[in-house]
Amino acid sequence: MIIPKPVRFETRPGRLTLGPGTVLAPDPALAGVAAWLRSELGPAGGWELLPGEPGPGAIVLAVGAMDPEEYTLTVGDDGVRIEAGGPAGAFYGAQTLRQLLPAEAFRRAADGPREWSLPAVRIEDRPRFAWRGCLLDVARHFMTKREVMRFVDLMAMHKLNVLHLHLTDDQGWRLEIRRYPRLTEVGAWRRESSTGWNGPADGRPHGGYYTQDDIREIVAYAARRHVTIVPEIDIPGHTQAAIAAYPELGNLDVPLEVRTTWGVGPNVVNVEDGTIAFFKNVLDEVMELFPSPYVCIGGDEARKDQWRASPAARRRIAELGLRDEDDLQSWFIRQFDDHLTARGRRLVGWDEILEGGLAPGAVVASWRDTLGAVLGARAGHDVITCPNTSVYLDYRQAPGDDEPVPFGTVLTLEDVYSFDPVPAELDGEDAARHVLGSQCCLWTELIDSPRHVDYMVFPRMCAFAETVWSPRARDFAGFRDRMRVHEDRLAALGVEYRREDGPLPWQ
Ligand code: TNX
């Protein structure tokens, strides 16, 4: 009853009891995993896992000759043994162990010591893909650092390992940049927000941002859970908040405010030297804060009208001998690709970055269906698939009018479950090896509270986790049976997932 489903799962005769007195004996290289397991199981059980040597009834964490993310988990009446290629694998083994326990093992406290009986099993497991991600848009609606860390916990529980943090957009800039304080002084706040996609304004100010210390904390918290945070600074479009803070970045003479409406906006940054230098400086601070090998610079939905009307942009096109504004965007993106590559990082961008040519090391995140992934992989780029048709968690979950966020086309649990990270067009092609994996995406224009986040993300993220972790064979009926058990775990954690029979009255 494990989600995501392990590669091999075999029950054996016998049971084991964990409770007060259970010893945890980790290999020194796995001390971090042991600390995490202690901090999760101890409070839920009402006891402490004791330090000690491997022996009868103990939980042993050992390092073995296998891939870093791979593990085996054996439970017998003599104890638990998790053997892994490295800390990440041991962490996933520990996550699986937690799912072998009753759902109350997911609570934060117990009113007295509990004993948990678990079945004897042997599990062999490893992920199908290296990039098992989720995008969280904290720009449209801010999420506090505590909410982000809770989100990381929920991702890690499902063996996801990349949190793509969408930190900047027209409607808000959420990251403190020391060199440019107005990005958050001005750019982190908006006057009001549209209700619905095109609805009337709500008249309520909204905002918030992470200080650099907050980010260090979030990054370290995620790292302990084997989650890499990939930051996104979206340019040249989706930049109205930055332009509101520093008007010299824009193309217009009129001042702009932080945007209060949704949809693709007209404003993009200009292509002047000062603007390129500005964003290189921003990326330098970003690289200081985020150790991720990948940095996302967006590149999506940049309207070119302002460049078409701008003498400076036209001059740039002539000077560089470019054909048009698409080529100009490509040149613009390359400036940052060079900057990141020279510092040992890899640029990630949405599939629009393919238009007009792209530096070889850049990674394409394919969101407009999977065409970008197919073209990108065939051109030799690593790609991530995240088609809006399959994994956009902001899309409604059922056709009914009672869905609390009636946005997008219907994307049911089964739709997400049926998604395959490798586009069918690449099946059997060598280029398929360029698919690093996938990420589901939670855009938050219409999702303004943690309760709504839970509702949109769960249980669809559970289905998504199987598509990136588990072997390709799909069995929705089996997943649904496992999901019934898993729902109790989510409930014990206080996750307000969507029930199969529809939204609750408050939602
Ligand atoms: C498209 S996906 C966007 C986002 C929106 C989303 C709404 C992408 C690269 N751009 O800016 O939030 O659709 O579903």
Catalytic residue among 48, 301, 355, 425: 301
Long-range contacts of 83-88 (CB under 8 A, 24+ apart): 84/30, 86/29, 87/29, 87/30, 87/32, 87/33, 87/226, 88/161, 88/226
Ligand 1 within 6 A of 300 CB? yes
142 lines ligand 1 (CB under 6 A): no
**Assigned CATH class of 131-493:** alpha beta
What are the E-state strand segments in 100-148?
116-125, 131-137
| pLDDT over 70, % of the chain | 100
Q: What is the mean pLDDT of residues 48-74?
A: 97
Q: Looking at ligand 1, which residue's alpha carbon is closest to its atom 9?
A: 300
For the chain, the domains span 8-125, 131-493
Please say whether the beta carbons of 224 and 32 come within 8 A. yes
What average pLDDT does the segment 118-135 reach? 98
- DSSP annotation of 497 reads P
For residues 348-370, give the mean pLDDT: 90
Of 33-37, 56-60, 402-406, the least confident: 402-406
**Helical segments of 428-475, H only:** 450-457, 460-469
What's the 443 CA to ligand 1 centre distance in angstroms? 7
Q: Determine the pLDDT at residue 507.
A: 67
Segment (H or E) for 439: strand 435-442
The per-residue pLDDT for 418 is 97
| Among candidate residues 34, 56, 38, 55, the one with its CA nearest the CA of residue 47 | 38
Hey, do 8-125 and 131-493 end up sharing a CATH topology, with the first three levels equal?
no
Contact 350 CB / ligand 1 (< 6 Å):
yes
Average pLDDT of span 258-274: 97
- 300: CA distance to ligand 1 center in Å? 8
DSSP-based three-state secondary structure for 99: helix
Nearest residue to 99 (alpha-carbon basis) of 404, 400, 410, 489:
489
Tell which CATH classification among 3.40.630.10, 3.40.50.150, 3.30.379.10, 3.20.20.70 matches the domain 8-125.
Answer: 3.30.379.10
* Residue 506 reports pLDDT greater than 80: no
Q: Are 406 and 396 in contact (CB under 8 A)?
A: yes
Residue 395 Cβ < 6 Å to ligand 1: no
- Beta-carbon contacts of 474 under 8 Å, excluding residues fewer than 6 positions away, are 417, 418
Regarding the beta carbon of 91 and ligand 1, being less than 6 Å apart is answered no
| Residue of 197, 405, 443 with the most ligand 1 atoms within 8 Å of its CB, for mutation | 443
C-alpha–C-alpha distance, residues 124 and 299, integer Å: 40
Q: Cβ distance 19 to 499 under 8 Å?
A: no
Ligand 1 in reach of 367 Cβ (< 6 A): yes
Instruction: Provide the pLDDT for residue 231.
Output: 99
Q: Do 243 and 267 meet the contact criterion of CB atoms below 8 Å apart? A: yes
Tell me if residue 147 is catalytic: no
pLDDT confidence of 271, banded at 50, 70, 90?
very high
Ligand 1 geometric centre to CA of 302 (Å): 12
